[in-house]
Amino acid sequence: MILQEKYKSYQIILASNSPRRKQFLTDLGLHFTIKPANVNEEYPSFLKGKDIALYIAKQKASAFNNLNENDLVITCDTIVCIDDVVLGKPENKADAKKMLLQLSGTTHNVISAVCIKSNQKEKLFHDETQVTFNTLNPLDIDYYIEAFKPFDKAGAYGIQEWIGLIGIEKINGSYTNVVGMPMEKLYNELIKW
């Protein structure tokens, strides 16, 4: 495959603890190490939508300053936006339920921003996907939260999980973006790199 050959001499670093992002890079056939970027994910209050995700992805990349010649860092941040309100990761069950009730019967945007960084250059890009939920039964929400514990997911849900199977009416855009990393765009950027 093209990517494996192109990046065989690189030390790729995935700056994320996300098991979904790890699986995506594994599925691409890339060899990489995981070194989460321990940065404050707060952002200036004047930022909106995609600019929030872009800011955080860049902040994560900035945590890697002393890169070797063959190092390549990949960072990502995903947010859920509904009516200009950003839904991050829920803090507890009540917060998760509040988020899912807010998303129920509506359309929202999932925005992921990615930063690819070496010691010579940096590329920052994003993708947006519209997701429409059916009206969710509160008992289904309770079951999902209890069984799947979506506390590591923006908007308190994983499209690839049970709630996505029974609750999502349609998506407009990249499925992998909603899972947590826009793989189609990442692949193309890595090919061009």
Q: What is the pLDDT of residues 31-81, one digit of tens each?
A: 999 999 989 889 999 999 999 999 999 999 999 999 999 999 999 999 999
Kindly tell me if the per-residue pLDDT of 119 is higher than 80. Answer: yes
How much of the chain, in percent, has pLDDT values that exceed 90?
Answer: 91
Looking at the DSSP bridge assignments, the partners of residue 107 are 132
Concerning whether 77 is annotated as a catalytic residue, the answer is: yes
Confidence of residue 113 (pLDDT cuts 50, 70, 90): very high
pLDDT of residue 102: 98
* Secondary-structure class of domain 2-192 per CATH: alpha beta
- Average pLDDT on 143-169 reads 97
Each residue of 58-67: pLDDT tens digit? Answer: 999 999 999 9
Mean of per-residue pLDDT scores for the chain: 95
pLDDT of residue 5: 85
Kindly tell me if the per-residue pLDDT of 24 is higher than 80. Answer: yes
How much of the chain, in percent, has pLDDT values that exceed 70?
Answer: 99
- Average pLDDT on 165-191 reads 97
CB proximity list for 180: less than 8 A, separation 6 or greater: 18, 20, 21, 24, 76, 78, 112, 153
pLDDT of residue 1: 66
| pTM > 0.95 | no
Coil/strand/helix, residue 98? helix
pLDDT of residue 38: 86
Q: From the candidates 71, 77, 95, 140, give the one annotated as an active-site residue.
A: 77
Confidence of residue 131 (pLDDT cuts 50, 70, 90): very high
pLDDT of residue 6: 86
